[in-house]
Amino acid sequence: MIARVIVDVPSRQTDRPFDYRVDSDMAGWIEVGSRVAVPFGGRTLQGFVVGFAEEAEVEKGRLKAVAELLDPMPPLLPDLIELARWMSITYVCTWTTALQAMIPAALKGKAERYVYITEDRGEYADSRTADQDGYERGSGQGQLSLGALSLPIELEQFIRQQEPVKLSLLQERYPQWSGLLKSALREGLLTETVSVRNRVAVKKVLTVFPPDDREAAEAAVADMPARAAKQREALAYMLEQEEPVPLQQLLAGAGLSASSVRALADKGLLRIEETQQDRDPYAGRAFVRTEPLPLTELQSAAFGQIAAAVRSEQQGTMLLQGVTGSGKTEVYLQAIEQCIMQGRQAIVLVPEIALTPQMVERFKGRFGDLVAVLHSRLSTGERYDEWRKIREKRVKVAIGARSAIFAPFERIGLIIIDEEHETSYKQEESPKYHARDVAVRRAEQHGAVVVLGSATPSLESYAAAVLAPGSRHSSGGEGVHAAYGGQRPDYSTQAVETGMLQRAVLLPLPERVGGRPMPGVEIVDMRAELQGGNRSMFSRKLHQGLADRLERGEQSVLLLNRRGYSTFVMCRSCGYTAGCPHCEISLTFHQKSRALRCHYCGHTERSPETCPSCGSEHIRFFGTGTQRVEEELAKLFPGIRVIRMDVDTTTEKGSHEKLLSRFGKRQADVLLGTQMVAKGLDFPYVTLVGVIAADTSLHLPDFRAAEKTFQLLTQVAGRAGRHELPGEVIIQTYTPEHYSVLTSQRHDYESFVREELKQRRILSYPPYCRLILVTLSHEQLPQLVSVSEKFAEELRVLAAEAGVLVSLDSREADAMEVLGPVASPIPRLKDRYRFQCMIKYRGAVDAAALVKQAARPHMEGSAAGKVLIGIDVDPQVIL
């Protein structure tokens, strides 16, 4: 039996399976998806079995054997192995990088090298002038030696005491002897073994089992001598128990010490065993059981379509477009119930920030113990335990952030992606996947249904539902299509690209449950404020609004998408601005620490009192950050209680929840923060939402800037007036005429999309093409420029050879353009200059493969001095 193994070395040259012999003792256990330890180029590495080969297919004689099977149950399944392969091609990464993204950190074992002193040194024993046991004891020195080689006595004793001892530990402790250790291993004085250990073992606890022999136990309770009162108490308690009780719980609950319980165990009256235990982060929390709620007509229609699609066991995608408060979650819950009833499992993806206890409660309340929750705030061990519940089929529903898409279920029927437009579904590190793409691909494998839920769908998803060739519109879609006069607009001159997702069914939920109106939104033109003599960051309107809320004891939410105190520091005498020495970006002033900080690389320096360039004292701070708003609020409204929520105040574990819970208990008047205040909050006393500057996200160098602004404004506006008290929203802006501001004021998604699609079409951006952004970086600018140009030229040559280097304006079905190279929006980051090429393409063009091929000559070989190319495949457009 021969296993094909992907070894855990993320490099281009090892990105293929290597073949290993499987010895008969493991043969019955090893499967596709098994995690193994294999010898590889002189060391032992972890790897995954991706398949098996026939004897005839491989070069015989040169095969090594699999060293160790690392888990009794394979952590991955064949479909995930295949999915990782697909990811490696789509996102231009190695197979192992994709595989590593799928397993919990607890299983990312590293091979550890252990050494011990060789007992049988065979032939050497004869060739030396040594005593019988193979040791040469020099004049009382007691040195272990072999020929010219000898180990210092201290080292030898240390090894003897601990053996086998980790090589890394020895090297750390005795760095001066690392060369000697190497020689000792080579010469056979020391022997090495390798073993892969998991980062976290299954947690074991001592558990006390109720008496097996009840009669004997009852008799013992009765006969127990008076001085053994504690034992009697413990035994009587255990007689009442049906289930085993953790020892610690028994001791704490009954005020006993372990000795009394041990004594009972010794008498054979109780049984104490080590059992596996899950670290349940929700232990001890009671979840109120909930029943399905009655659905509105629209909810019911959406649910019906989803349920039918799940039943069909055909892959399908649905876009559930519902405004905040329209009851999407109840539709999800009932669809999941349907899915479970068919013996299939469901995955629910939620943005990390929305994965609050309340959110979890809704699912646990409906499905109880059938739910596993995966999120980044869990410890490695907790996460592993939740993951094992899925793998061991103890749960039917997995709810979690991005990476929960890899939940190792065997029969998935439904994948729900809530707030599908959220950018947190895109992973910024390699593998740079988008959970939505991966979901569609997994659904294809399982014949499952993907439900994308959002009040403001991404243009890509919306295009797949409404504009894609062959897309069907659901019956309730009047409101949605009114913008087109009931007709699909004619965009036939340019193909809409929806990539993998050929079409999606649109399920609109345009009404709030209970018919509560959307809050009124007022736009304030800050230019007019300035002309009217108001130089404050608060318009008169917002100032008055805040004052009213304070007076009435209601709460306000303020959004400013910029943390810190001020965005840049400039000398008014000479024009000097403080920039990061490692990045081409201005430094942000932080008031509390009186420091200048780079928000990209974290560089921090003390804020200058005088200009470092000309010595002038006219150093001034410009631009407004959350810290400055906080200060200004305190000045304007003495005694006001403000909670500031941004990256600077939420780094600590659980701080995010803590701040929100304080606000929920009305211990503050204002919640001030960056975009994290816009998501999913629901507080009854919030009646005012203010956006301090809507423009901050509008002028970013990002083709999605308008879309992001619209989504942010719409979302934050939804935070007001969710309960009895009516809400008010005030948006301050310097560009009140911009369509993303105007349409969000009217909660008018369709008009926004229509305008935005026009722009995207003119400029050839998704969904009218697909994009890959390649970023190249190097410490030396001239080298970077030269390699970037070579890369772009090579890519154009390859595209021309493939016959696809055609303008996107053409009517060709397959087209590809290479733009650049140009300097990146952040031209220097962490001491590396950055250039980028944007690749736009459509149709059946395998742009990822061409990029990979063009990049190859610049990525291989030793890294020193070469331009390292970071390849960023922007996948949101692949969908």
Q: List, as residue ranges, the binding site for Zn(2+).
A: 571, 574, 580, 583, 598, 601, 611, 614
| Closer residue to DNA, CB minimum distance, 95 or 135 | 95
| CA dist., res. 548 & res. 725, Å (int) | 14
- Least CB distance from residue 865 to DNA, whole Å? 7
For residue 461, give the 3-state DSSP assignment: helix
For residue 347, give the 3-state DSSP assignment: strand
Radius of gyration (C-alpha) of the chain in whole angstroms: 32
Question: Total residues at the site for DNA (CB under 7 A)?
Answer: 22
Q: Which of 456, 453, 505, 473 is nearest to 336 (CA)?
A: 453
| Closer residue to DNA, CB minimum distance, 2 or 805 | 2
41 is a site residue for DNA (CB under 7 A) = yes
20 is a site residue for DNA (CB under 7 A) = yes
Q: Which of 365, 203, 355 is nearest to 280 (CA)?
A: 203
864 is a site residue for DNA (CB under 7 A) = yes
Binding segment for DNA (CB under 7 A), chosen from 303-311, 358-366, 556-564, 857-865, is 857-865
Residue 347 β-bridge partners? 398, 415
| Closer residue to DNA, CB minimum distance, 179 or 638 | 179
176 is a site residue for DNA (CB under 7 A) = no
Binding segment for DNA (CB under 7 A), chosen from 13-21, 315-323, 394-402, 779-787, is 13-21
Binding segment for DNA (CB under 7 A), chosen from 16-24, 506-514, 683-691, 714-722, is 16-24
- HEC secondary structure over 386-455: HHHHHHCCCCCEEEECHHHHHCCCCCEEEEEEECCCCHHHECCCCCCCEHHHHHHHHHHHHCCEEEEEEC
Interaction residues for DNA, span 368-397 (CB under 7 A) = none
40 is a site residue for DNA (CB under 7 A) = yes
Binding segment for DNA (CB under 7 A), chosen from 14-22, 24-32, 350-358, 622-630, is 14-22
Binding segment for DNA (CB under 7 A), chosen from 437-445, 566-574, 700-708, 862-870, is 862-870
- Least CB distance from residue 7 to DNA, whole Å? 8
CB 646 within 8 A of CB 563: yes
CB 309 within 8 A of CB 448: no
64 is a site residue for DNA (CB under 7 A) = yes
Binding segment for DNA (CB under 7 A), chosen from 208-216, 438-446, 536-544, 856-864, is 856-864
In which residue are the tokens 């000795």 written? 259
| CA dist., res. 178 & res. 562, Å (int) | 50
- Least CB distance from residue 850 to DNA, whole Å? 22
As to burial, measured by CB atoms within 10 angstroms (0-12 exposed, 13-18 middle, 19+ buried), residue 423 is: middle
Q: Figure out which of the listed residues 9, 595, 700, 742 binds DNA, where binding follows CB under 7 A.
A: 9
Backbone angles phi, psi at 573, to 5 degrees: -85, -50
Q: Figure out which of the listed residues 58, 89, 236, 258 binds DNA, where binding follows CB under 7 A.
A: 58
- Stretch 534-553: interaction string toward DNA, x if CB under 7 A: --------------------
Q: In what order do the strands lie in the sheet with 110-117?
A: 165-166, 110-117, 190-197
| CA dist., res. 767 & res. 459, Å (int) | 7
| Closer residue to DNA, CB minimum distance, 40 or 95 | 40
* End-to-end Cα spacing for the chain: 39
856 is a site residue for DNA (CB under 7 A) = no
Residue 473 DSSP symbol:
B
| Closer residue to DNA, CB minimum distance, 288 or 864 | 864
707 is a site residue for DNA (CB under 7 A) = no
- Least CB distance from residue 171 to DNA, whole Å? 11
| CA dist., res. 52 & res. 688, Å (int) | 63
- Least CB distance from residue 555 to DNA, whole Å? 51
User: What angle, 0 to 180 degrees and rounded to 10, lies between the N-to-C axes of helices 214-223 and 229-239?
Assistant: 150
Q: How far is CA 821 from CA 482, 770, 831, 858, in A?
A: 42, 18, 19, 15
Residue 202 DSSP symbol:
P
Q: Figure out which of the listed residues 1, 26, 63, 251 binds DNA, where binding follows CB under 7 A.
A: 63
- Least CB distance from residue 10 to DNA, whole Å? 6
Q: Figure out which of the listed residues 485, 515, 553, 861 binds DNA, where binding follows CB under 7 A.
A: 861
- Least CB distance from residue 703 to DNA, whole Å? 32
| CA dist., res. 853 & res. 837, Å (int) | 15
430 is a site residue for DNA (CB under 7 A) = no
What is the β-pairing status of strands 868-872 and 770-778? antiparallel
Binding segment for DNA (CB under 7 A), chosen from 38-46, 263-271, 462-470, 552-560, is 38-46
| Closer residue to DNA, CB minimum distance, 370 or 868 | 868
Interface positions with DNA (CB under 7 A):
9-11, 13-14, 18-21, 39-43, 58, 62-64, 861-864
